[in-house]
A and B are shown apart, each in its own frame.
Chain A
Amino acid sequence: MMLTTSPDRPAGTAGVPDLIDRLRRSGLQGRGGAARPVAAELDRVRAAGPGGVVVVNGVEGEPLSRKDATLLTTVPHLVLDGAVAAATTVGAPDVVVCAAAGPGLEAVRRAAGERGGVDGPVHVHVVAAAPGFVAGQESAVVAHLDGFAARPRGTGVPLWRSGLAGRPTVVKNVETLARTGLLARHGHQPDTVLLTLATAAGPRVLEVPAGSALDVVLDREGVATGAGVLLGGYHGTWTPSDVTVPLTVDAVRAGVVRPLLAGECPLAVTAVVVGHLAAASVRQCGPCTFGLPRLHQLTLALAAGRLDADGVHELRRTVGLLVDRGACRHPDASARTVASALTAFPAEVAAHRRGACLAARAVAA
């Protein structure tokens, strides 16, 4: 694994003058799920003026993801190097690491104490994250660091204009900043994706070349797949097993790969996922408070074979109703997960409408 086997010592990346150029040339995209180009974002914060903040997002609220905790545990200095390099580039005097409680947080806290003055004027803070799925959304992270409840904010003011303590803020994922650290140290970063493979034995973090075929990777890891794979985690996309997907950043998003086991029903897994997403809502907007429980109820009914044609129609209608209404994208993305299940497994949906389940039948046969 290239990312996690780099030697981990503070490298003094506070004075890399052309970091944004390096980011632009490497085409680095955010690895927290949104996959936005990093160079453009740093550019905006730099243009917003000095006194900004770089927030390292290690909340990793995605239940199946382990890559950020792994990076913080194994290469905390690389992550901090990337964050400090980004901070000096945008003229920010502060780096705030917000990580989920655990070994990752301990490791980065220890590392922050070992920097030994290589960071110039940049001050590194380390803070424990609030628990929960939605707490990892960037404006929720900023709200938490600002001392408020960790809720996504609904104002139209972007974080790069007014974020933490009202200062221009850029929130980047741990892996994104580790790659930024490699760019600052060496001028290049590996063209790979970091995956968390959810296996029966637990999550396994692996790094594969970007564009690797999903089925090849799963074969090599010795994971037998059932009907399909959920790519990108709970806010991800279902892919049927017979489709070969190249594992690019745009495809894997936050990097979670959840294959179905043999005999596991994709609709049942979707129902469990939606149940988790509905429970994860902070209940500040209508689509989350009312829409997600309804979505869960309908998906559960579909998985149990208790939904007729009208019910499936109602499910599709509910999916459409959730889009573009909340303060954050939690309802949109949750609806998309369900929509992708309906698209990827049409035969399974048709079978469930008749009260049958193809996955269960395949195992029995």
Chain B
Amino acid sequence: MAGVSSELLWALSRASGLVLLPLFTLVVVLGVLAHGGRRLGRSPRVVTPLVHRALALAALGFLLLHVGSVVADSFVDVPLLAVVVPFSAGYERFWTGLGTVAVLLLVAVVATSLARVRLGRRVWRAVHALAWPFLAVSLAHALGVGTDTRTPWGLALATACVGAVVAAVVAGRRRDRWRPADPVRRPSVLQESPR
């Protein structure tokens, strides 16, 4: 493969990786907010999960670009097999392997979300929680293998992502369900009467 093309592929994989980190962070943040029943601004409550889903789809597109460009790039040794088998790549075996683990976790999350209607809520909830290890492993992968994440601005980006998730978890927890007002109860008229 020509050098210019390889150069382009390398730039593509780095750039898409840099987009993926904040994008997946945003998806997780929206997921937390959606679970907490939070609104985005003044929009109705249903908008939050809709945006969560739409951004997740967009992130999947970038992920395809990210993985595809790395595999296609002949300069680094990442065979197609390494997309599904962790720690089988020649280039940065451990850190690239974490990327593979993240992909596998994401496949589970996406597949169960697509089949959510058939699975039922409890199974889906349990598998969907894999989004947390996914985000953690992705972040480790980004910090370990990333050419740009060790620059000051790259570290700042990673820190901001972690901060956003923590803030969402703290602020966006599910609030108490709505209850009719005045649960105060007087004794019933028939409480003391013989049955």
Which A residues contact B (CB, under 8 angstroms)? Answer: 51, 53, 93-94, 96, 123, 125, 127, 145-149, 151, 164-165, 167, 284
Closest 5 CB pairs of A and B: A147-B186, A165-B190, A145-B189, A147-B185, A146-B188
Query: Chain B binding site: helix, strand, loop or mixed by DSSP?
Result: loop
A164 near B189 with CB under 8 A, answer yes
B185 near A148 with CB under 8 A, answer yes
Asked if B191 is at the interface (CB within 8 A of a chain A CB), the reply is yes
Which B residues contact A (CB, under 8 angstroms)? Answer: 180, 182, 185-191, 193-195
B187 near A147 with CB under 8 A, answer yes
A151 to B180, CA, bound (A): 10
List, in ascending order, chain B residues with CB within 8 A of A125's CB.
189-190, 193
A151 to B189, CA, bound (A): 16
A151 to B181, CA, bound (A): 11
Contact among A147, A149, A284 for B188, CB-based, below 8 A: A147
List, in ascending order, chain A residues with CB within 8 A of B186's CB.
147
Contact among A123, A146, A147 for B193, CB-based, below 8 A: A123
List, in ascending order, chain B residues with CB within 8 A of A165's CB.
188-191
List, in ascending order, chain A residues with CB within 8 A of B189's CB.
96, 125, 127, 145-147, 164-165
A316 to B186, CA, bound (A): 42
A351 to B48, CA, bound (A): 48
Beyond the given pairs A146-B188, A149-B180, A165-B188, 8 more chain A to chain B contacts, judged by CB atoms under 8 angstroms and listed by A's residue number, are A93-B193, A93-B194, A93-B195, A145-B190, A147-B186, A147-B187, A149-B182, A164-B189
A201 to B193, CA, bound (A): 44
List, in ascending order, chain A residues with CB within 8 A of B187's CB.
147
Query: How far does the Cβ of A338 sit from chain B's closest Cβ, in whole Å?
Result: 27
Q: Which residue of B lies closest to A96 (CB)?
A: B189
**28 pairs across A/B with beta carbons < 8 Å?**
A53-B190, A93-B195, A94-B190, A94-B193, A96-B189, A96-B190, A123-B193, A125-B189, A125-B190, A125-B193, A127-B189, A145-B188, A145-B190, A146-B188, A146-B189, A147-B186, A147-B187, A147-B188, A148-B185, A149-B180, A149-B182, A164-B188, A165-B188, A165-B189, A165-B190, A165-B191, A167-B190, A284-B180
List, in ascending order, chain A residues with CB within 8 A of B180's CB.
149, 151, 284
